[in-house]
Amino acid sequence: MLDMQSNDYDVLIAGGGPVGLMLAGELRMYGVSTLVVERLKSGAHEPRTLTIHARTLELMDRRNLLADFMAAEKDTAHLDEYRRRLANDSARGHFAGLFVLGRGTATTEQPRELAVPREAIETVLTRRATETGAVVRHGAQVVGFEQDAGGVSVTVEDAQGMRVIRAGYLVGCDGGRSTVRKLAGIDFPGTAPQLVSWMGLGAVTDGGRLPMGWQRNERGWFMRMPDGRISTTEWDRPLPDTPATAQELIDSVHRVTGERIEFTDVRFVSRFTDSTRLAAQYRTGRILLAGDAAHVHFPAGGQGANLGIQDAVNLGWKLAAACQGRPGLLDTYDAERRPVAERVLHNTRAQAALMRPGAQVDALRELFTQLMGFDEVNDYLTDGVYGTDVHYGGSDDARVGAFVADRQLKTDSGPIRLAELLREGRPLLLDLSGTSAAVRVAEPWSDRVRAVAAQDTDAEAAVLLIRPDGHLAWAGDEPVHGEDLHTALTDWFGPARP
């Protein structure tokens, strides 16, 4: 019987983009055998720069990858000049093309954002995954599967033909047209597109009257970036069902701006819309979804890659626990991440509406700009776009579910940052009570949970139980109740060691 077969891998990941690679690295921290299959050859993705936001950068710091991301950051001097032209101050991001985010009081220890080439991100994450033992195969794709009580029989096609690979779980990180989602029969409801955008990278000539930056008029939007990218957005146009071409982009530039350009040395041309969809569920049995396979939206503010990478960090330790015999945590993946995606889809729909041409929207944009001058409004929108408002609820204690900010701690071994204590991917019990009582309670979990006694006068509580993804699982006030901590450790990280 199929459920008696041994599995070749604990997890098979369909899709070797940033989300699939991030998930592979997360799983390998816990010794989970992992295979990633990617349909495209290595380096075959469009040459695109991704905006990596503050919360994702904080997570990279907790995985000791922040320095790699900062080193890989594309030279953004031209972007800083571009922002200054649009905002005339230090605003770091935009909402619907209004470059005013970040003017409020919201702060982060890390840079608000980095502009990093996708290829560089994949290089960093591939190195992390493969150096820890993950297998990454390009030119291979999932074309079918059957799941049973013991795992999933996945049919993979590559240049040598088709073969069946057994895995304990299959995760679809294979984009908005996800084969895994479709084969799993997971519905993908949402809204049809109302706009179409073209983007290309190449050399523009005869476009002297087209300055750098964003232009909005009664016909749509035109964007020109110093790195050679140009883009247009038009509303209520028929959507072609053929691959995008350079001529389509040239024609759209003419319709929007009235200018005729030549577009040569073309590296890529793509077409995208504001189609907005969210998977009805992130899991069915041993099949899970992450990234664009679970949610698609208009790419306003560059939120998509960050949302997907954060899916991977939330899922990784829970899926590892399932592979090690504790599948209960997988139910929290859908419960926690779908509401986050819903908020992103909501704000990108709002941005698309606020970008539409017309006198009424002109007035709305002017009013919106005035409102964003208030710190509370600016902070609310900044936190939403940068993902720094994510809170996993479900507890009577409002502190539980919040992301635990980095801070300098004093320990018997010397000063250390909280982020450094999370780099092994293990849960962290931080005993700040001065008694080390919580450390003693957690000793039977020492094979899974790192327990540290430290000093922090500004801490949220006397004891913090922090999940591998940096969110607070439990908070204890003095006097510390060992029974409550025992229950929290068991619920989140399994029974005590005999």
Residue range 471-476: mean pLDDT, rounded:
96
pLDDT of residue 269: 95
Q: For residue 400, is it within any domain? A: no
Residue range 385-393: mean pLDDT, rounded:
92
Spatial distance between the Cα atoms of 123 and 136, rounded to a whole number of angstroms = 12
Given a cut of 90, is residue 442 above it in pLDDT?
yes
Radius of gyration of the chain (CA): 24
Spatial distance between the Cα atoms of 77 and 296, rounded to a whole number of angstroms = 30
Question: Are 287 and 365 within one domain?
Answer: yes
Q: For residue 398, is it within any domain? A: no
Question: Are 130 and 51 within one domain?
Answer: yes
Q: For residue 471, is it within any domain? A: yes
Question: Are 291 and 263 within one domain?
Answer: no
- Residue 485: beta bridge partners? none
Domain's final residue, options 273, 296, 330: 273
**Other C-beta atoms lying within 10 Å of the C-beta of residue 100:** 23
Residue range 28-35: mean pLDDT, rounded:
98
Q: For residue 391, is it within any domain? A: no
CATH number, domain of 248, equals 3.30.70.2450
Residue range 205-219: mean pLDDT, rounded:
83
Contact (CB, 8 A) for 422 and 471: no
Question: Are 134 and 27 within one domain?
Answer: yes
Q: For residue 379, is it within any domain? A: yes
Residue range 252-266: mean pLDDT, rounded:
93
Spatial distance between the Cα atoms of 470 and 422, rounded to a whole number of angstroms = 8
Give the position of tokens 């247009």: 232
Let me know the angle formed at the C-alpha of 96 by 94 and 101, rounded to the nearest 5 degrees: 25
- Residue 200: beta bridge partners? 230, 269
**Overall number of domains in the chain:** 3
Residue range 472-480: mean pLDDT, rounded:
89
Spatial distance between the Cα atoms of 291 and 177, rounded to a whole number of angstroms = 11
pLDDT of residue 109: 54
469: nearest Cα among 282, 331, 309, 302: 309
Domain with 350 in it: 2-189+277-386
Question: Are 73 and 182 within one domain?
Answer: yes
What pTM value is reported for the model? 0.94
Question: Are 16 and 133 within one domain?
Answer: yes
Question: Are 248 and 356 within one domain?
Answer: no
H/E element holding 53?
strand 49-53
Maximum CA extent, the chain: 75
User: What tens digit of pLDDT does each residue of 277-330 get?
Assistant: 999 999 999 999 999 999 999 998 889 999 999 999 999 999 999 999 999 999
Among 51-65, 76-90, 146-160, the minimum mean pLDDT is found in: 76-90
H/E element holding 93?
strand 93-95
Q: For residue 39, is it within any domain? A: yes
CATH number, domain of 455, equals 3.40.30.120
Question: Are 267 and 296 within one domain?
Answer: no
Confidence band (pLDDT; 50, 70, 90) for 106?
A: low
Given a cut of 80, is residue 374 above it in pLDDT?
yes
Confidence band (pLDDT; 50, 70, 90) for 392?
A: very high
Burial code (b: 16+ CB inside 10 Å, e: under 16) for 383-420 equals bbbbbbbbebeeeeeeebbbbbebeebeeeeeeeebbe
H/E element holding 78?
helix 77-87
pLDDT of residue 216: 93
Question: Are 171 and 134 within one domain?
Answer: yes
Question: Are 244 and 318 within one domain?
Answer: no
Give the position of tokens 């005590």: 496
Contact (CB, 8 A) for 341 and 294: yes
Question: Are 50 and 80 within one domain?
Answer: yes
Q: For residue 394, is it within any domain? A: no
Q: For residue 312, is it within any domain? A: yes
Domain's final residue, options 273, 296, 324: 273
Residue range 198-224: mean pLDDT, rounded:
87
Q: Around 254, how many Cα atoms within 13 Å sit in the side-chain half-sphere?
A: 11
CATH number, domain of 173, equals 3.50.50.60
pLDDT of residue 48: 81
Average pLDDT, the chain: 91
Domain's final residue, options 243, 273, 303: 273
Question: Are 326 and 283 within one domain?
Answer: yes
Among 132-146, 277-291, 420-434, 470-484, the minimum mean pLDDT is found in: 470-484
pLDDT of residue 470: 97
